[in-house]
Amino acid sequence: MMKKVIDSLSSIQHLTALGRAQDSAAIILVSGVGLLVVAYAIMRLSTSLFTELREMLFAKVTESAVRQLALKVFRHLHSLSLWFHLERHTGGMSRDIERGTRGIQQLVSYSL
């Protein structure tokens, strides 16, 4: 659709030459450009609207998957030995877990 808008804008130069010969053609040209701008704005708005609608529909699925994975990682960390926790400084792993859950959210979002 956007390709058609751009292609029709290139044909406007031809209409401009006709508009110099006739005043009514200039009015048609201005209204045509205005309609093209409005059509472009509507297309951009609909793209944003459908993106938000998709995010809203799949938010529950995404959050559930992220929650389950984070819970598995949390349980695994708690099942490790005391030595591992003392040597590896697992307190800093919370940042890594957070990055992983954000990565899953982005991956699901991009795949949709």
Contact 109, 63 (CB under 8 A): no
Query: What pLDDT, on a 0 to 100 scale, did the predictor assign at position 45?
Result: 93
pLDDT digits (tens, 9 = 90+) for 66-111: 888 888 988 888 888 888 777 766 667 777 778 888 888 888 777 7
Look up the pTM and report it.
Answer: 0.48
Helices (H), 1-112: 2-21, 23-79, 82-88, 93-111
Query: What pLDDT, on a 0 to 100 scale, did the predictor assign at position 78?
Result: 82
Query: What pLDDT, on a 0 to 100 scale, did the predictor assign at position 18?
Result: 52
Residue 81 CA to residue 93 CA, distance in Å, equals 15
